[in-house]
Structure 1
Amino acid sequence: MATSVSSKQSAGLLPYRLKDGDVEVLLGRPGGPFWGKKDLGSWSVPKGLIAADETVLAAAKREFAEGTGHPPRGKSVSLGQSKQPRGKIHVSAVEHDWDAADLKSNMFEMEWRPRSGRRQMFSRTRSRRMV
């Protein structure tokens, strides 16, 4: 039975594949102006906030599709939850063999530089990599 949770929590989907006897996972680096020059410590599971009417898994799948341009396929398994500085994150894993070069993020618009009055478009996810 699916359970919905508070919208103050996040959900993420960790795609993995088996390659030459090793496990590889897909990680992403956030896009937008705040993450432009940051690399170390910025790679993570594609994730985002859970809407009030969503289950954890539905939010994880939605966020993955928004961050990669592809809806996840395959059976998922919950990896549990972790406390992060900005709240809890619920993570599920799904086995699939994506080519990270084929994944494209959707865009978002925001005012940049702050209080400049100018709006710009940015990619939600700057980079993706199987590691």
Structure 2
Amino acid sequence: MSEKRSAGLLLFRRAPGGAPEVLIGHMGGPFWSSRSHAAWSIPKGEYEPEEAPEAAARREFEEELGLPAPEGEWWALGESRQANGKLVTVWAVEADLDPELVVPGTFVMEWPRGSGTLREFPEIDRVGWFGLPEAHPLLVAGQRVFLERLAERLNGAAGAAEATGP
């Protein structure tokens, strides 16, 4: 049995004043409905070994949000092993997206458990833009490292721009 892998795309934009904001989604379904802390995720999903992780990130973005992945320079934020053992690979891209345009994909599960009734739920029930300090406690713990890596990359990019000067 092969290792479970997931790939995703973290959108970021610069708020007025230049502080970065990220777009994250609140996980859908009955388990997450009353939670906020550690109940949000970067749009991502599983892929098989024959699929390139970049292609999976693009596909999963569209499946989860109902919109194509935005064009732009993709910054590799690396990998992180989640508590469930899954290896997650994430890229960041600077782009703006109106949360009102999101049409989430759905999944089917038995609910209530043991009832024999299958119900459909949105993969992500809402999305929002958050500053990095606000997003950190909202994201599931295993994905927070990607915010830290994005902040390092942005700080490095700012430092490089300042170093080269006009």
TM-score, scaled to structure 1: 0.88
2:15 is matched with which residue: 14, 19, 30?
Answer: 19
Question: Is the CA contact 1:26–1:128 (under 8 Å) kept in the aligned structure 2?
Answer: yes
Match of 2:76 in 1: 78
Quote the sequence identity (%). Answer: 40
Question: Is the CA contact 1:7–1:50 (under 8 Å) kept in the aligned structure 2?
Answer: no
The number of aligned residues is 126
**What displacement does 1:7 show?**
5.7
Question: Is the CA contact 1:11–1:60 (under 8 Å) kept in the aligned structure 2?
Answer: yes
Match of 2:53 in 1: 56
Q: Tell me which protein shows more strand as a share of its residues.
A: 1
2:35 is matched with which residue: 26, 31, 38?
Answer: 38
Unaligned runs of 5+ in 2: 131-166
Separation of aligned partners in 1, 2:50 and 2:109: 25
**What displacement does 1:52 show?**
2.8
Which of structure 1's runs of 4+ aligned residues deviate more than 6 A? none
**Higher CA-based Rg:** 2
Unaligned runs of 5+ in 1: 1-5
Question: Is the CA contact 1:65–1:72 (under 8 Å) kept in the aligned structure 2?
Answer: yes
Q: Tell me which protein shows more helix as a share of its residues.
A: 2
Residues 6-55 of structure 1 show CA distances to partners (whole Å, capped at 9, x for unaligned) of 66111111011123212111011110111111111111211111223211
Residues 77-113 of structure 1 show CA distances to partners (whole Å, capped at 9, x for unaligned) of 2111112102221000112110112212012222111
Separation of aligned partners in 2, 1:110 and 1:95: 34
**What is the Cα-based RMSD across aligned positions, in Å?**
1.4
TM-score, scaled to structure 2: 0.71
Question: Is the CA contact 1:7–1:51 (under 8 Å) kept in the aligned structure 2?
Answer: no
Match of 2:118 in 1: 119
